[in-house]
Amino acid sequence: MNERAGRTLVAASFLVMAGAVEAQDAKLDTARIEAVTGLAGVLIEQEGVFKVSAPRTDVKISVDGWTMPPFMGLTSWASFHAGPGGNTMVMGDLVLFPDEVNPVMSELLDAGLEVTALHNHFFFDEPRVYFMHIGGVAPADALARGVRRALDKVKEIRGRSAVPAAGFGGPALPVTSTISARPIEETLGVRGQANGGMFKVVLGRTAQAHGGHEVAKEMGVNTWAAFAGSDENAVVDGDFAMLEDELQGVLKALRKANIDIVAIHHHMAGETPRILFLHYWGRGSTAALARGLKAALDTQKAETARRPSPG
């Protein structure tokens, strides 16, 4: 073996050894995670996962008239998995009441975590229960602090009122709607449709499904917003159709505008590209609501501009 080949072999061996050491060093400080989250955890060695959990015992929950114990699916949890480069991955599921969902979501997003789904698991539950799925990749300490912020927000809300709220609050909406269409159209940059003093805009996008069928606006692949009330006391509800890499930006923009998220899920299976849907509800002036929606739409445009050109 010549000297150059020998040096190459030594360098390759060093890289292999370094990778092995890095893999060995990628261990979770489970005591630290417990201390930061304030939760006891369990190490599942076969998966290399450390899982902390918090049963919802502060409010009694019934499903179909039966008081449901936390063991049956009413426990918030977060699982941590160490990876290379000093980063850790977290995945979890938080059990929340409607008045907790959006404040908790804001805490998570501000902490750098991701919210990946929001939905219900039951019918006829009292009070209503929602499940927020979370994720993220960062140093374990940062992830644990994000989980702790979410749980502390729940305690803060329930500390103010032990009984979950029965509504969003705010002034009653006018019986007759008188929404001005033009300012909304000018802000969103799209024409809409008026009906009985209400106003609605719809923006379509395109995907492929079921062996090459094009599905677009009229097949339900669309973002829409419907306004009712008056220009100064309005409600907006609607749906965002998003690619996966657009979700977090849209969430952050809507929450910054104080627009509530009420569901995150999919509507189809097997479509290309994959489309996620986000349902929302907002109260305020039509001007402020339209600006919030425009900010969310702009995050989608920015994400599109960052994607590499096809081919």
Q: Which stretches of 155-294 are assigned E, i.e. beta strand?
A: 193-195, 198-204, 207-209, 213-215, 222-229, 234-242, 260-265, 276-284
251-272, pLDDT tens digit by residue? 999 999 999 999 999 999 999 9
pLDDT over 50 (residue 9): no
**pLDDT score, position 291:** 98
- 179's tokens: 């929404």
Compute the average pLDDT of residues 103-115: 98
What are the domain boundaries of the chain? 26-160, 181-306
54-93, pLDDT tens digit by residue? 999 999 999 999 999 999 999 999 999 998 888 999 999 9
Q: CATH code for 26-160?
A: 3.30.1460
**pLDDT score, position 85:** 81
Q: State how far the alpha carbon of 99 is from the alpha carbons of 20, 111, 264, 286, in Å.
A: 47, 20, 16, 23
- Report the DSSP beta bridge partners of residue 223: 203
Q: CATH code for 181-306?
A: 3.30.70
Strand bridging mode 49-55 / 41-44? antiparallel
Distance CA 88, CA 72 (A): 29
Distance CA 127, CA 88 (A): 35
In the chain, the amino acid numbered 103 is P
Produce one character per residue of 105-131: b if its CB has 16 or more CB atoms within 10 Å, e if not: bbbbbebebbbbbbeeebeebeeebbb
Strand bridging mode 88-96 / 75-82? antiparallel
